[in-house]
Structure 1
Amino acid sequence: MIWKKLADLILKNRLLILCLAIIASIFMGYQASKVRITFNGGKVLPVTDSAYIRYMQFKKLFGQDANTMVIGFKSPKIFDKDVYNDWYTIAANVKKIKGINGVISVANVYNISKDTLQHKFVLQPLTPGLLATAPAADSVKQKFLSLPFYKGLVLSDDGQSTLMAISFDGKIINTPKRVPILKTVLKYGKEFGLKHRIQVHYSGLPLIRTVAGDLIKNEFSLFLGLSLLITSIILVLVFRSFYALLFPIVVVLLGVTWSMGILVLMHYEITILTGIMPPLVVIIGIPNAVFILNKYYHEYGATGNKMQALHTTIEKVGITTFVANITTAIGFGVLCFTNSELLIQFGLVASTSIMVTFVLSIILVPIIFSYLPDPKARQSKIKDRKIIRGILEQLDYLVHHKRKAIYLTTVIMVIICGYGVTRIRVNSYVVDDLPKTNNTLTDLKFFEANFKGVLPLEVSIDTKRKNGVMNNAVIHKVEKLEKLISSKPEFSRSLSLTQGLKFLTQSFYGGSPSYYRLPDGLEQGFILSYAGNSGKSNDMLKSYLDSTRRFTRVTFEMIDIGSAKMNKVLADLQPGIDSIFNPKKYHVELTGSSIIFIKGANYMVKNLYESLAWAIFLIAGVMWILFRGIKMIAVSLLPNLIPLVITAGIMGFFGIPLKPSSILIFSIAMGISSDQTIYFITRYRQELKQTDKSISAIVSDTIRETGISMIYIATILFFGFGIFAASTFGGTQVLGILLSVTLAVAMVSNLTLLPAFLLSIEKRENKKKVDGVDEVSG
C-alpha cells in the first residue's frame, strides 16, 4: 500500500520532484567540488584506545615523530671533495626552506668542544663551508669517523652509504604545504644523482604518504572511468537502447556527486578507502536501474501502457530494491561498529551514499522514462534471448533433478575451503598497499639494508617522579634498554639522552673516541653543569627530556617486517624491558606512528570479525521481518555464507593474508550478495500468494523471471569490482578480485542452492502431510 501511494506521488508530481532533485544535486555538486585528499595516514585506532592516548601524550611531550624524510646514496666517493661539497650544498639549501626544522647529513654534522674558561660546551659545524682541496675532505672524513655518535646514523656501518635526514615542521607535515617542499628535495636529489652518476634513494613517512596520496588521486579518476565503461557496455548488451544506457549512467553520476558532497559535509577527506567510493556507487547503483528497467520493459510488454507499467514497476520493485539496498548498506554500515575513524568514515559515507543512490534511482529513472518514447518491442523481450534462456533452463533442470549433486558439491567445496581457512595468516605492512614496482618500495629496501629502516619507533620512559631521569642508575637502565632493542636485527641504533651524554663526555675529555661513554657519578655533575651553560648543545639533551625531567624518550628506526612478525618481536622484548625497568616503579611504552599502525592493524582485524558478525545478525533480522520463521532465515543466509567460506579458503590456499583491506570483503560481500536472495525469495513468495501453482512450478517461474536480473546484476558486480584489479594498491587489488569471486559464487549459490532448499522444504512438508494422512487412515 505504501509503495502504491509512493508510485502515485512520484508520477503525479514528477516535474516538481525532478526540479527539486536537480537543485539538490547542484548543491551537492558544489560541496563535492571542495573535496580534498588526506595528508595523514588516517586514524586507525579509536581515540579512546589506551595506546592511542599514550601516543598523543608522547607527541604532546616530545612533538611529532613521523616528520622526517630521508635521501641517501651508496658510493665509495662520499668524502670525495666534489661529491661532499654538492651534498653540503643540498643540505644548506634545504635547511633554508620555510617549513623545514632541521637537516642532518655527513656534510653538516656538528662537533662539540669544551670551553674551560666559560665552563660550557661549544657546538661547531664539522665543515664550516665548502671544501677547497682533497686533503681537506680527507681531514673532515677522519674527524667524522672519530665521532661515534654519528655511526650508523648518517653513515652506514660499512662506510659506503650515507643519508640526509630532513625534519619537517609539525604544523605543515599533514597539510598540502609539504608537497612543494618534497618536490624541491626530489629535484635537488635528481640533479645530484645525474651530475655524479649516483643513484639517489628517497624515503620516510612524509614521502610515503604523499606518494600514496598521489596514487589515490590518480586512481580516483581511473576507477570512476573504468566503472562507467564496464557498466555502459553491460547496459548496452542488456537493453540495446541509447536511453537505457544514458539515463541510468546520469542517475548514478548524480549518486557519485552526492557521495562526494556527503563526504565534505561530514568534514571527511579522501582516504585509500573513501577514494573508491565513486566507482562503488556506480557499481552498486547501476543494478538498481537494471532491476527497475527490466521490470518496466516486462510490464510494458504485458500492458502496452507506459504510465501503468512505470506505476507497477515502482510498486512491485520498490520494496524489493529498497530491502536489497538496506542489506548492502548494512554490509558497509557495520564498519561503524569498529570505532576506527578510518573505517567509520568509509562505512558511514558508503552506507549513506548507497541509500541516497537508491532513492535517486527509484524516483528519477521512472520520471525520466515517463518523458521518453515508448519502449521498443525488443526491449520487452529480454527474457527471450537464447543464451540467457538456455542458462536459466539448465539451472532449472539442475535444481529439480540434481539436488543431491548440488548438495554434495557444496559440502565438498565447504570442506576443502574450510581446510584453506585454517591456512590463513594475519599480517599487515606499513607500506602494504604501495605497488611492488614503485620506486618508493625499492628505496625503502635500500634504507632497510643500510640503516635498518626509516620507520619511527619511540620508547617513552616514565620514571613517575620529578627529575627521575637524571638519576645515574636510571641513565644506566636506559643504556641497557637501548642495547636490548638495538640487538634485534629489526631495529637501528638509538638516539637518546644517553647517546647525548656520551658525546658530551667524549668532548669533555678532548674528543678522544675512547671516552664515548656514560659519565660516572662525579663526572655527571661536571658535564651537566657545562651543558646547562651551553645553549644549543643543551638543546640536544632537552629534546629527549620533558620540562620536569620525569620522562625521557629513546628513538629508533625500524624495518617494515609486518604486523605478524612485529607482534612476536614486541612480545619477546617485553620480558627484557620489564627486567630492566620494574613495571611497579616505571612505565615503559613502545610507541610512535609505526607501533600505532601495528596496533591499529591488530585492532581492525579483531573488530572486523565483530563487524561481520553484526552484518550477519542484522541481515538475519531483515530476513526475519521479510519472511518470518527460522527455516526461511536459514534458507536465506546459507547461500550467502557459503561463498564467504569459499573465498576465505581461496585466501588460505593462495597465501593472501588477512588484513584490514582483505577482511572488509566479507561484510561487504554479505550485504551485496544478500540482495540476490531477497530478489529471488520476494518474487517466489509473491507468486506463492497470488497463484495456486505448486512450489516446484513457482520455483521454475522464479528462476526464469528473476534469474535474468540476477545474472545481469551479478555480471555488473563481477566486472565492476574486477576493475579494482587494475589498482596500484595491493589491498585494493585483493579487495576487487576477491569481491568479484565471492559475488560470482553467491550468484551461482542463489540460483542453485537457494531454490534447491525451497524444493527440499516442499518435499519434506508433503511427506509430513502424507504421513499424517496415513496415520489418520490407520
Structure 2
Amino acid sequence: MLKLFTKGFWDVVARIILRNKIAILLSIVAITVLFITQWNHMRFTYTEANLLPDDHEVNIVYTDFLNIFGEEGNLVVLGVKDSSLFTVEHLNAWNKLSEAFKSLDEVEAVVSIKDLKKLVKNTEEERFELEPFITDSIHTNRQLDSLQEDLFQKYPFYDNFLFNKNTKTIRTAIYLRKDIVNTAARKDFVFDALLPKVEAFEKATNLDVRISGMPYVRTLNAQNIVDEIGKFIALALGVTSLIFFLFFRSFRATFISLLVVCIGVMWTFGIIGFLQYELTVLTALIPPLIIVIGIPNCIFLINKYQHEVKLHGNKVRSLQRVITKVGNATLMTNVTTASGFATFMLTESTLLKEFGVVASLSILSIFILCLLIIPIIYTFLPFPKDRHLEHLNKRWIGGFVNWMERMVKERRITIYITSIVLLIASMIGIYQIKISGSLIEDMSKEAEFFQDIRFFEEEFNGIMPVEILVDTKRKKGVMKLATLKRMNELEELILEIPELSRPISVVSLVKYSKQAYYNGNPKYYQLPTSQENSFILSYAKNSSSNLNLLSNFVDSTGQYARITTFMKDIGTDKMEDIEEDLQTKINKLFPEEKYHVTITGKALVFQKGTKYLVKNLAISLSLAILLISLFMAYMFRSFRMIVVSLVPNLLPLVITAGLMGYLGVPIKPSTILVFSIAFGISVDDTIHFLAKYRQELQANHWKIRKSVYGALRETGVSMFYTSIVLFFGFLVFTFSSFGGTVALGALVSATLLFAMLSNLLLLPSLLLSLERNIANKEVLKEPSINIIPDEDEDEDDDENQTETNKNP
C-alpha cells in the first residue's frame, strides 16, 4: 500500500512541477529575493568559539572571573627588537606613537616606556609617590643611557612586561575598552587606527614593529575567514563545474547546474541571516559545502534525463521519469546526508548546534531546488544533441566498471584480506591520535600576525592569558601577609614553568613598594616581613596614586585577587600537565576552608571545549549511524541488510582515523566534523547500490550473482561520477590558510574515496559471500519505500502519461 502511495505521490509531484513551471520559477525568484534581504542580519562572530554549554562548570568559573575583573582579553601589544630603537630620535618617535593611541575612544589605557613611573618614598608625608622615568622627551644620549640603566638593572617590577632585559626588546601595552572587545568597534580600531599608525611609524623610522594580543589576532583571523568564504565558493564552483563539464561535455548542462547551486548558496546565506546566527569558522564552510553536495544531485538528474531521452526520444516523458524515478532516490540520499549534519543539533554546544541547523536545512533546500529547477528549465530547452549524449558511451567508464566486476568475481579473498589489514593497521593508528585545544593552531602559519605571535612567545613567553582567581572568602583578605606569601609561592612555581610567562599580580606591586620603601634598592624587591609590612602598608594607604594600580589586581572589596600569566601555544597534553601541577600546588598552599582558588582564562576554556567536543563526537556519530540505520530499516525492512550496509561505510571512517594517528593530525574542533560529514555522504552510495540490487533480484528471479553484477554495472558509473566530484570538491578546502580547514578537506576527501571503493568492492563481495543469509525473500521483504521504481512500473506509467505529454 505504502509502495503504491509513494509511486502515486511522485506522479503527482511530477505533474505539479511540469504543469506549473512559470509559477514555480516565480516562487523560487521571490523566495531568493526574500533570503537576500536577510543577508543584512548576518554578522561575523567577534568572540572566540565557545565549545562548552553555558552551564558547564568551566564556563561558570570563567564567567565568575569576568564578573569580578571584566574582559581579560583586551590587551594589544606592540614590540620592537632593534638596537637602533635606543637612539634619541627613534625612542621619541616610539613614545609619540604610543601617545597617539591614548586619545582614541576605543582605548582604555596605554602603557609604554614613557608611561613608566618610579615608586618613590616621601618620608615627610609618609607616603609613596610616582615619578616618571621620562618627564617630557629624551634630548641627550646621557638621558638615554640613564633610562636604560633604570629599566634593565634597577626596576624588576617592569621586567618581562614592557621589556625583556636580556634581549632589549621593548613593547607597548594598549588596553582596549572592555565593552568593545567583542564588538565591531574592535575591527574598526585595528584597521582604521592601529595598522595605519604603525605603518606610518615603520615608514618613518625603518623599524619593524611586531603586533599581537588576542583582540588583534582574533580580528585578523576573523578577516581571513571572511576572505576565504569567497575564495572557497569560487574554487568549489570552478572545480565542480570543470569536472561536470568533463563528464557531460555540455555548456548548457554545466550552466544549469551552476545556476542551481548558486541559488542554493544564496539560500544558505539567507538561512543564516534569517536565524540571526553568527558566521563562525564552521558556518563559513557551509556555502562551498552546498556546492559540493549539490552538484552530485545535478549529475543524477541530468544523467537520468539524457539516458531517458536516448532510450525513447520523448522529452516530456523523460522529464516526468526524472522526477518520479530519481526524485525519491535523491530525497533519501539527501535526507541521510542532512541527518549526518543534523546530529550536531543534539549536542550541547551552541557552535555545533548552529552548524547542524544551517547545514541540514541547506542540504534539503538544494535538493528541492535541483528537483524543481532542472526539469523545468529543460522543458524550455531544445532536444539534446548527439554530442550531449556521447558521455553515456564512454569506453573508459566501461573499463572501470569491468575492472570492479572482475575484482568482485575473482579477487574477493584479496578484498577481504586488504580490508582486514587496513582495519588492523588503522586501529593501531587510532591509539596514536592526540587531542589539540590550541587557540592558534589552526591559524594561517604564513600570516604575518602568526609570525608575530611566535615572536612574542620567544620574547615574552606567549600572548594567551591564563588567569588564577584567588577568593579569600573575606573582605580585605588579599592584603593579609599570609595570603601574599601563599600567592608568592604559587608565582615561584609559575616562574619554573617555561611555557608560562612571568606572572603579574598584587604580589609584584607589594614587592615594588618594599623596594621603594628602601629608596629604590633593587635587592629589596621582595615581600616585606611582618614587621616591615605594617610600615609599608601605612605608606601605601596614604598613597592615592597606588589605587589605580591595585584595581587591576584586586577587586574593590579586597576579597578577590588575580594572578595573570601568559602561555605559549602548546599541546593539550602539556597544557593538562601544567594545569595539574598548578592545581596540586594550589591545593597544598590554599586551605579549602579559607580560600577558593580557580584556574581559568580563554586558552583553558578552549582546551576544555575541545575535550568536550571529543565526547560529543562519539555521541553525534553514534546518533548519525543510528538514524541512518533506521532509514535503512524503513526502506529495506531487513536487519541483516543494515549490518552488511554499515560495514563498508564504517571501515573508511576507521581508516581515516588511523591515518590521522600516523600523520599526526590531532582531533580538534575542525577535524572532529570529518566523521559525521563523511558518513552521512558516503552512505548515499550504499543506498543507491542496495536499492538497485533489490530491484535486480526481483527482475532476475532472485539470481544473486547476476543481480549483484547488474547493480554494480548500473550504479558504478553514477557512484564514480559523484565520488569524483565530492573528492575534488572537498579537496578545494586544502587551499585554505587555516590548518584545520586544510585537514578537514583532505580527510573528508580521503574518506569519501575510501568509501567509494568500499561500496563498489567490499559491499558486493559481502553480498555474494553471504548470499544464503542475505539475499532471500524472507530477509529482503517488500520495501517500505521503493527508492528506484521497477521497470514494469515505468511501462505502466508510459500508458498513463498521454495527458501529461499533451499538457506538461
TM-score by length of 2: 0.91
2:422 equivalent in structure 1: 413
**Post-superposition shift, 1:264?**
1.3
**Post-superposition shift, 1:77?**
4.2
Distance (whole Å) between structure 1 residues aligned to residue 678 and residue 593 of structure 2: 48
Aligned match for 1:277, one of 282, 286, 297:
286
Distance (whole Å) between structure 2 residues aligned to residue 141 and residue 149 of structure 1: 15
Whether 2:739 is the aligned partner of 1:730: answer yes
Whether 2:106 is the aligned partner of 1:95: answer no
What SS does the aligned partner of 2:446 have?
coil
**Post-superposition shift, 1:407?**
1.3
Whether 2:195 is the aligned partner of 1:156: answer no
What SS does the aligned partner of 1:433 have?
coil
Whether 2:141 is the aligned partner of 1:134: answer yes
Structure 1: segments with no counterpart, 5+ residues: 770-778
1:539 equivalent in structure 2: 548
1:109 equivalent in structure 2: 116
Whether 2:63 is the aligned partner of 1:56: answer yes
2:784 equivalent in structure 1: none
Identity %: 39
Deviates more, 1:754-763 or 1:257-266: 754-763
Please show how residues 606-755 of structure 1 align to structure 2 within 5 Å.
606-692=615-701, 694-755=703-764
**Post-superposition shift, 1:538?**
0.9
Aligned match for 2:174, one of 166, 170, 175:
166
Please show how residues 258-337 of structure 1 align to structure 2 within 5 Å.
258-337=267-346
Structure 2: segments with no counterpart, 5+ residues: 1-5, 779-808
Distance (whole Å) between structure 1 residues aligned to residue 275 and residue 477 of structure 2: 45
Distance (whole Å) between structure 1 residues aligned to residue 775 and residue 244 of structure 2: 43
Deviations 1:402-448 (A, max 9, x none): 22221122112222222222222222422111222222222212111
The 1:203–1:766 alpha-carbon spacing in structure 2 relative to 1, beyond 3 Å, is closer
Contact 1:383 1:708 in 2 (8 A): no
**Post-superposition shift, 1:526?**
4.4
**Post-superposition shift, 1:750?**
0.7
Distance (whole Å) between structure 2 residues aligned to residue 206 and residue 572 of structure 1: 29
Deviations 1:288-332 (A, max 9, x none): 111111122222223322222222221121221111111211222
1:568 equivalent in structure 2: 577
Whether 2:436 is the aligned partner of 1:427: answer yes
**Post-superposition shift, 1:78?**
4.5
Aligned match for 1:76, one of 77, 80, 83:
83
Whether 2:516 is the aligned partner of 1:507: answer yes
Deviations 1:558-584 (A, max 9, x none): 111122211122122221111011234
Distance (whole Å) between structure 2 residues aligned to residue 353 and residue 556 of structure 1: 43
Please show how residues 514-593 of structure 1 align to structure 2 within 5 Å.
514-593=523-602
Distance (whole Å) between structure 2 residues aligned to residue 720 and residue 422 of structure 1: 30
Amino acid in structure 2 at the alignment position of 1:25: T
**Post-superposition shift, 1:767?**
11
Distance (whole Å) between structure 2 residues aligned to residue 92 and residue 20 of structure 1: 58
Amino acid in structure 1 at the alignment position of 2:682: S
Aligned match for 2:183, one of 175, 182, 185:
175
2:398 equivalent in structure 1: 389
Amino acid in structure 2 at the alignment position of 1:203: S
**Post-superposition shift, 1:607?**
1.8
What SS does the aligned partner of 2:83 have?
coil
Amino acid in structure 2 at the alignment position of 1:155: F
**Post-superposition shift, 1:339?**
1.7
1:774 equivalent in structure 2: none
- How many residues are treated as equivalent by the alignment? 769
What SS does the aligned partner of 1:124 have?
strand
Distance (whole Å) between structure 2 residues aligned to residue 118 and residue 99 of structure 1: 38
What SS does the aligned partner of 1:657 have?
coil
Contact 1:332 1:668 in 2 (8 A): yes
What SS does the aligned partner of 1:177 have?
helix
Contact 2:438 2:603 in 1 (8 A): no
Amino acid in structure 2 at the alignment position of 1:102: A
RMSD of equivalent CA atoms = 2.1
Contact 2:462 2:567 in 1 (8 A): yes
Contact 2:426 2:659 in 1 (8 A): yes
Distance (whole Å) between structure 2 residues aligned to residue 657 and residue 601 of structure 1: 11
Contact 1:329 1:354 in 2 (8 A): yes
Distance (whole Å) between structure 2 residues aligned to residue 378 and residue 326 of structure 1: 34
Distance (whole Å) between structure 1 residues aligned to residue 548 and residue 389 of structure 2: 80
2:801 equivalent in structure 1: none
Contact 1:112 1:122 in 2 (8 A): yes
2:786 equivalent in structure 1: none
Amino acid in structure 2 at the alignment position of 1:656: V
Distance (whole Å) between structure 2 residues aligned to residue 766 and residue 441 of structure 1: 58
Deviations 1:463-502 (A, max 9, x none): 2233322322112111111111222111111111111122
The 1:269–1:502 alpha-carbon spacing in structure 2 relative to 1, beyond 3 Å, is same
**Post-superposition shift, 1:196?**
4.1
Contact 2:441 2:569 in 1 (8 A): no
Contact 1:329 1:351 in 2 (8 A): yes
**Post-superposition shift, 1:741?**
0.9
The 1:222–1:252 alpha-carbon spacing in structure 2 relative to 1, beyond 3 Å, is same
Amino acid in structure 1 at the alignment position of 2:129: V
What SS does the aligned partner of 1:475 have?
helix
Distance (whole Å) between structure 1 residues aligned to residue 130 and residue 634 of structure 2: 76
Distance (whole Å) between structure 2 residues aligned to residue 525 and residue 686 of structure 1: 92
The 1:122–1:231 alpha-carbon spacing in structure 2 relative to 1, beyond 3 Å, is same
Distance (whole Å) between structure 1 residues aligned to residue 12 and residue 700 of structure 2: 25
Distance (whole Å) between structure 2 residues aligned to residue 620 and residue 116 of structure 1: 82
What SS does the aligned partner of 2:131 have?
strand
Distance (whole Å) between structure 1 residues aligned to residue 339 and residue 721 of structure 2: 23
Contact 1:91 1:108 in 2 (8 A): no
Distance (whole Å) between structure 1 residues aligned to residue 777 and residue 385 of structure 2: 49
Whether 2:232 is the aligned partner of 1:223: answer yes
TM-score by length of 1: 0.95
Contact 1:430 1:562 in 2 (8 A): no
Deviations 1:691-749 (A, max 9, x none): 53622222222222221111110010011001111111111111111111110111111
2:799 equivalent in structure 1: none
Deviations 1:364-408 (A, max 9, x none): 222222222222345456442111111112212222232222112
